[in-house]
Structure 1
Amino acid sequence: MDVVIIGTGGLAREFCTWFEDSITICGFSTKNTDEFSKFNLPGHLLPPDMTPEMAGTSNAVIAVGAPAMKETLYHFYTQRGFKFPRLVHTTSLVGKRVSLQEGCVVAPKVIIGPNTTLGRCTYINFGTTIAHDVKIDDFCQINPASCINGSISIGKRCTIGSHTSILQGVSVSNDVVTAVGSVIFSNVRSSGTMIGNPAKKMLLSVSGTIEKNSPPNA
């Protein structure tokens, strides 16, 4: 399969490393032209306003970690005629009755349990475990070695920090960020950044300092 990668940051370069033996990378689309040459990336350097004809393929991977940017790029490149294939690394295990929506990427050594749904352009990074009956909505970024237990619901545009653990049955709202190593014991009902064990919502005080004083179910 011929693919063009959108982005040249760390996530894009990781994706290239994991998948370059199973796909043909036609090039990278980016504003950061220095990164393309600095890291000697394969294929052609393509402008942000590229078309499928310019890229030599209509298959694109959005390899950008910021969820809101993923969504913006998805709509922009959809209108330009691109499609977003589902890609699962050969070292990952995907259970029965798992639904991967367009643009999903599953990096190496991920385990996904049965009856799980991953939304559009959601990226599951390496070493993550996802148990049974999980729903992760569109444009999420699940970072390395996260542990997402059974019957969990995660909303749109969430960033789950590396080594985050989410307990079974928990629901996480849209636009939530979890800090590295956070443990989510109860529902997160509104957007914000969760940090700690047990995780609490970060608040900015009048003085500008960060406080962790929101209760669970924030």
Structure 2
Amino acid sequence: MKDLVILGAGGHAREIHQCILAINHLSPTWNFLGFLDDYALQTEVAGCPILGPSNWLQGRDCSVVVAVGSPALRRSLVAGIQAGALVKFATLIHPSAQIGSSVSIGPGCMISAGAVLTADVVLGQHVIVNTGSVVSHDSRVGDFCTIAPMSCLCGGVSMAEGAELGAGVTITPGIALGEWSVVGAGTTVIHNVSPNEIVVGAPNRVIKKQDAGWHEKG
């Protein structure tokens, strides 16, 4: 079994812990050591220890998954880890997820229970596909994207780096989402979304245009 830690100690981290338990129930794969949290107020999560802040990883030879829902924060944490640790980024796929034989999944991705990835789908690095979501044929999902629960990408959808979908979003076929764009929960997207835009509604409409590079601030 390979040593594994989760960076993060919030709700998504606890969900990923459950994913690890489900994987190990079928086939012992991961020796889960505990959680990491830079701002922890408690000493354990889900009955498992908080080992320390993210710099606990420095010099350690283990695997890690960055279980943080925010694409911008996830990107920042991954960059910090890569700066000086020996760790490897784990890819975690819940046993109940359905993954087509022609699907490509990058390192650090997290595929939750009941997710479906059909045919010729490509996920970049550190992508979250949350519970019950569907990514249909020929879709491309860039690094650090987040797909919240029960969202659906119809065929040929493109999500650029850092794009984020709220819960229950529907993206119609062939739509492109620009980098670091945000789609609000329940939105039906029938028009392309430009980089850094926030859209909501059915059909989607722009409610805010964020400055380029907003995800690197704070």
TM-score (norm 1): 0.86
Give the aligned CA root-mean-square deviation in angstroms.
1.7
In structure 1, what is the Cα distance between the partners aligned to 2:8 and 2:96?
24
Q: Does structure 1 conserve the Cα–Cα contact (< 8 Å) formed by 2:39 and 2:53? A: no
- Distance in 2 (alpha carbons) for counterparts of 1:185 and 1:40: 40
Runs of 4+ in 1 over 3 A off after TM superposition: none
Contact 1:164 1:183 (C-alpha < 8 Å) held by counterparts: yes
Residue 4 of structure 1 aligns with which residue? 5
142-151 or 19-28: which moved more?
Answer: 19-28
Counting matched residue pairs gives: 201
Q: Which runs of 5+ in 1 are unaligned?
A: 205-218
Letter paired with 1:173? G
- Any conservation in 1 of the 2:54–2:81 contact (CA below 8 Å)? no
| Offset, 1:47 | 2.0
The whole-number CA distance in structure 2 between the counterparts of 1:41 and 1:188 is: 42
Which position in structure 1 is the counterpart of 2:73?
A: 69
Contact 1:67/1:139 (8 A) holds in 2? yes
Where do 1:6-155 residues align within 5 Å? 6-21=7-22, 22=24, 23-37=30-44, 39-51=45-57, 57-79=61-83, 80-155=85-160
SS at match of 1:49: helix
User: How far off is 1:53 after superposition?
Assistant: 5.1
Shift of 1:143: 0.4
Paired letter, 1:166: I
In structure 1, what is the Cα distance between the partners aligned to 2:131 and 2:67? 14
**Bigger radius of gyration among the two:** 1
The two structures have a TM-score, normalised by structure 2, of: 0.86
In structure 2, what is the Cα distance between the partners aligned to 1:51 and 1:203? 38
SS in 2 for 1:73: helix
Give the drift of 1:35. 4.4
Report the CA distance shift for 1:190/1:44 in structure 2 as closer, same or farther (over 3 A): closer
- Is the alpha carbon distance of 1:189 and 1:105 closer, same or farther for their aligned partners in structure 2, counting shifts above 3 Å? same
Q: Distance in 2 between matches of 1:198 and 1:122?
A: 25
For structure 2, list consecutive stretches of 5 or more residues without a partner in the other structure.
25-29, 210-218
Aligned pair partner of 1:198 in 184, 203, 213: 203
> Is the contact made by 2:146 and 2:162 (CA closer than 8 Å) also made in structure 1?
yes
Alpha-carbon shift at residue 87 of structure 1 (Å): 1.3
